[in-house]
Chains A and B, each alone.
Chain A
Amino acid sequence: MPDANKMAAPAQNPDSDVMISLRDLRVSYGTREILHGINLDVRRAETLVILGGSGSGKSTLLRTLVGLERPSSGEIWLRGKNLATISDKDLDEIRRKLGMSFQSGALFGSMTVGENVGLPLREHTKLEDSTIEIMTRLKLEQVGLGGFEDYYPSELSGGMKKRAAVARALSMDPEILFFDEPSAGLDPIIAAGIDQLILELKQAFHMTIIVVTHELASAFLIADQMVYIDKGVIIAQGTPAEMKANPLPRVRQFFDRVAEPEVEQEMDYLQMLTAEHRRPVRR
């Protein structure tokens, strides 16, 4: 039973369907706190969309979930381990079950698409090269890039790079798939293709998927659950229908694309900086 040790962990949600559980998660860069106490549960086979404006902390949250940032306090429960206190070795063990598709694709420019997708298999398994080649081809076909094994990333279009990055994220058959801004920088038609791909992955593999985006159309299409982060705090959470009906002014402003009043914006910005960046008084 995969959840046996997870149930034994302290502060766990008794709901065994919970894949990721965040408790009062705080993350700081230097003296500046970016996330101020996030509480969140992500269920198995659920697609969670994390929404928020630029600088809201949503990308930091995603980076923390895959272990690229260590929290300053709080707990992240994933596969029965607390990522906040985990050893590097255990973290690597967990990461093999996670797939991450980066905003820029982050494909290795010196390797072909096929080598990129096969890299995790080559590093972490003892499979024969011929087996890895077949698996690589399958993953590329899953994302609609069959036959592009020998191309270099620089020879692919933006949308194809994103697809290749998804294929690489899928190569170790992850339980949880993370997307950072999947449709950023793509035209609406290509972006819709990526949304379609996410929906197909969800239906075919029942994967837990976490997507960070500020593209509303895409978010409402793919999400089962949504959270809205503002200034490092979750201010709204719910299904797409619930979120559409959310009356909070900040959320409405985001959904209705209302600009921030100019003067207030600058004051807000300065206030935010001084409030979060209080240094000890110098001699």
Chain B
Amino acid sequence: MELTAQIGRGVLDGLAYVGALTRLSLQAAYYAFIGPFRGRPLRVERAFSQAMEVGVRALPVLSVITFFIGLILALQGAYELRKFGAIHFVADAVAISMTRELGPLITAIVVIGRSGSAFAAEIGTMKVNEEIDALETMAISPVQFLVTPKFLAMILMLPCLTIWANFMGILGGSLFGVAQADFSFLGYINATVDALFLRDIITGLIKSVMFGMTITAVGCSEGLNTGVGAESVGKSTTAAVVISIFLVVVVDLVFTSLFFFAGKG
């Protein structure tokens, strides 16, 4: 009885948390897309500086990581394909796995590590320093002021970063293709283009937008729910990273299943 009650409570808490995240995302979306038409100006310059931080500054590390991931994919794929004398399919394998799955996922994980944690730490520190209270007493909505620019930056930059990640992954794969699978560079790129459907890229980008919303909501919500003291900022930051990674994988599963069954029908 006690165990089932605990499981029940856990599920309810989980659902309440997801509900709170959804509410936060909807509020941010309201301030981003509807608010400006109702006399609540958008903080464009803040969104822009957030986009620089979330997007542009993530490029070096993301480029290196996804280049390596592309190369690893090619190596792993070739290991199996070689047995069937089908090593030239390595371009297809890399292209499809990068665009449909690993491009968006690796991008999300890099962004969680860089920006999701930073959101929680920034907002958490503001909470501890009474700055969130100060915003509220000045009749300024913390969601409008703090969350909305981050939300906009994320849903714009994650798809951009994902496209870049796809490209770097394919480039990584091409290194193996040229060195070990008798491809010319152009031949590898042509094989990649032939293997890809627009659908592969689009589904990846749709997922990346959803990942962006998830990361923003978790990072900001953990920051806003920070308790008292410096220690709780650390806890919020850790929680933001762990929960974001978990929820991004869940969102990934949901959307991949949706695309799978929708594509079938």
Question: What is the interface of chain A, defined by CB distance below 8 A to chain B?
Answer: 63, 66-68, 91-93, 95-96, 98, 100, 102-104, 106-109, 119-120, 123-124, 168, 172
Contact = CB atoms under 8 A, between A and B. Distances in A.
A88 to B, nearest CB: 9
Contacts of B138: 95, 119-120, 123, 168, 172
A104 B130 contact: yes
Contacts of A63: 133
Given A66-B137, A106-B134, A107-B131, 14 more contacts: A67-B137, A68-B136, A68-B137, A91-B139, A93-B139, A95-B136, A102-B134, A103-B130, A106-B129, A109-B129, A119-B140, A123-B138, A168-B138, A172-B138
B133 A96 contact: no
Interface string B105-132: 0000000000000000000001001110
Interface residues of B, number: 12
- Interface centre among B129, B134, B145, by most chain A C-beta atoms within 10 angstroms, is B134
A101 to B, nearest CB: 9
A100 B134 contact: yes
B136 A67 contact: yes
A168 B135 CA distance: 11
B5 to A, nearest CB: 10
29 contacts: A67-B136, A68-B133, A68-B136, A91-B139, A92-B139, A95-B136, A95-B138, A95-B139, A96-B139, A100-B137, A102-B130, A103-B130, A104-B129, A104-B130, A106-B129, A106-B130, A106-B131, A106-B134, A107-B131, A107-B134, A108-B131, A108-B134, A109-B131, A119-B138, A119-B140, A120-B138, A120-B139, A123-B138, A123-B145
A124 B139 contact: yes
A108 B122 CA distance: 11
A73 B256 CA distance: 49
Q: Give the interface SS of chain B, mostly helix, strand, loop or mixed.
A: helix
A63 B133 CA distance: 9
The 10 closest A-B pairs by CB, nearest first: A106-B134, A92-B139, A106-B130, A95-B139, A100-B137, A102-B130, A120-B138, A66-B137, A106-B131, A123-B140
A107 B130 CA distance: 9
Contacts of A124: 139
Interface of B: 126, 129-131, 133-134, 136-140, 145
A106 B130 CA distance: 5
Contacts of B126: 108
Contacts of B139: 91-93, 95-96, 120, 123-124
A114 to B, nearest CB: 16
Contacts of A109: 129, 131
A182 B138 CA distance: 18
Nearest to B40: A123
A64 to B, nearest CB: 12
A124 B138 CA distance: 9
Contacts of A93: 139
Nearest to A172: B138
- Interface centre among B126, B129, B138, B145, by most chain A C-beta atoms within 10 angstroms, is B138
Contacts of A91: 139
B130 A95 contact: no
B43 to A, nearest CB: 10
Contacts of B134: 100, 102, 106-108, 168
A262 B131 CA distance: 37
A220 B3 CA distance: 58
- Interface centre among B129, B130, B137, by most chain A C-beta atoms within 10 angstroms, is B137
A106 B133 contact: yes
A78 to B, nearest CB: 13
A93 to B, nearest CB: 8
Nearest to B145: A123
A120 B133 CA distance: 14
A92 B129 CA distance: 21
